[in-house]
Amino acid sequence: MQESPRLLSPKIQFRTLILSDLHLGTKDAKARELLDVLRGVRCEKLILNGDIIDLWSLQRKNHWGPAHTAVVRRLLKMAEKDATRVVYLRGNHDDFIRRLIPISLDRIELAEEHIHEAADGRRYLCIHGDAFDTVMAKMRWLAVLGDISYQVLLDINRFYNRWRAWRGKEYFSLSQAIKGKVKSAVSFISRFEEHIQTLASRRGCEGVMCGHIHKAEDRMMGSVRYLNSGDWVESLTAIVEEMDGSIRVVERAELMRLITAQRLAYEAQKAELESPVLV
Ligand SMILES: [Mn+2]
């Protein structure tokens, strides 16, 4: 007797999907783009790592549209129909939930932070990341400085000092001053990395997952793996955990390719199973 083939799912499957910074309620939220992804994915656990509904922005100007409602409805449906465990972590744009947390509503939990245990036993601390803001501000400053070459700096310095001389002021080394700034910014970065490492070890975690800075990342900070899920305003990225526990950052384009391929395979199998048996 012929063994019946394993039935394909019309959706791609992840153990965990981690999203952050959807900023629903703002003009720039890519709700439709997100909806395409959410409709094609099934996951056991969904971590919403802050700034999901942008209450700050809604209070100033209401840009809530039907697509935003559809995203919320889809998220609730995942919890209800797919039995997905949803963990909603507080961000700084939706810190109104701070007064409620921690609370568990059926399959939806609201919390400040969450420890995710992957299938391979590795533990990850999930937290929005606005707590690191003062450190991050210095990092942005460093990125700007990094774009200015030393030669340009020297040129600016020369003009600046010509102007100072004309004003009758003494020489001032702008490049020296900026180099000092860079040095302190570098120490701020290592302080941020230290912060992440301390936090991870305090929670017994091998990794930390954040959002907030709207930039997807996956890199080691000492022995700690730092991941950032990016956002759904510009970068359209997510973190996914496969069934075997492997974790990676993915872009929407890749997710859509996987979703389309899965759907086609599913349709093909369905058509084959429904066609009359030919002898
Ligand atoms: Mn944020």
Q: What separation in Å is there between the alpha carbon of 131 and the centre of ligand 1?
A: 10
Integer Cα distance of 17 and 46 in angstroms: 5
Q: What separation in Å is there between the alpha carbon of 235 and the centre of ligand 1?
A: 14
Q: What separation in Å is there between the alpha carbon of 100 and the centre of ligand 1?
A: 19
Q: What separation in Å is there between the alpha carbon of 95 and the centre of ligand 1?
A: 10
* pLDDT tens column, 176-190: 777 677 667 667 667
Q: What separation in Å is there between the alpha carbon of 157 and the centre of ligand 1?
A: 37
Q: For the chain, what percent of residues have pLDDT higher than 70? A: 87
Q: What separation in Å is there between the alpha carbon of 90 and the centre of ligand 1?
A: 9
Quick one: which of 238, 241, 260, 266 has its CA closest to 30?
Answer: 238
Q: What separation in Å is there between the alpha carbon of 180 and the centre of ligand 1?
A: 30
Q: What is the pLDDT of residue 153?
A: 74
Q: What separation in Å is there between the alpha carbon of 81 and the centre of ligand 1?
A: 29
pLDDT of residue 195 exceeding 80, the answer is yes
Q: What separation in Å is there between the alpha carbon of 241 and the centre of ligand 1?
A: 22
Range of weakest confidence among 74-88, 154-168, 226-240: 154-168
What single letter denotes the amino acid at residue 176?
Q
Integer Cα distance of 231 and 51 in angstroms: 9
> Regarding predicted confidence, which is higher, 118 or 276?
118
Residue 150, H or E segment: helix 150-166
Integer Cα distance of 241 and 256 in angstroms: 16
Q: How many CB atoms lie within 10 A of CB 219?
A: 10
Q: How many CB atoms lie within 10 A of CB 233?
A: 17
Q: What separation in Å is there between the alpha carbon of 231 and the centre of ligand 1?
A: 10
Q: What separation in Å is there between the alpha carbon of 9 and the centre of ligand 1?
A: 35
Mean pLDDT, rounded, of the chain: 89
Q: What is the pLDDT of residue 152?
A: 77
> Regarding predicted confidence, which is higher, 136 or 204?
204
Range of weakest confidence among 59-68, 73-82, 129-138: 129-138
Quick one: which of 143, 123, 144, 152 has its CA closest to 225?
Answer: 123
* pLDDT tens column, 210-245: 999 899 999 999 999 999 999 999 999 999 999 999
Residue with tokens 């450190």: 135
Q: What separation in Å is there between the alpha carbon of 10 and the centre of ligand 1?
A: 33
Q: What is the pLDDT of residue 276?
A: 76
- CB distance 22 to 29 below 8 Å: yes
The residues, any chain, with a CB within 8 Å of residue 107's CB and separated by 6 or more, are 79, 80, 83, 84, 85, 86
Domains and CATH numbers, the chain: 12-267 (3.60.21.10)
Q: What separation in Å is there between the alpha carbon of 133 and the centre of ligand 1?
A: 9
Q: What separation in Å is there between the alpha carbon of 98 and the centre of ligand 1?
A: 14
Q: What separation in Å is there between the alpha carbon of 259 and the centre of ligand 1?
A: 28
pLDDT of residue 1 exceeding 70, the answer is no
pLDDT of residue 70 exceeding 80, the answer is yes
Q: What separation in Å is there between the alpha carbon of 22 and the centre of ligand 1?
A: 10
Q: What separation in Å is there between the alpha carbon of 31 and the centre of ligand 1?
A: 17
Q: What separation in Å is there between the alpha carbon of 56 and the centre of ligand 1?
A: 11
Q: What is the pLDDT of residue 31?
A: 98
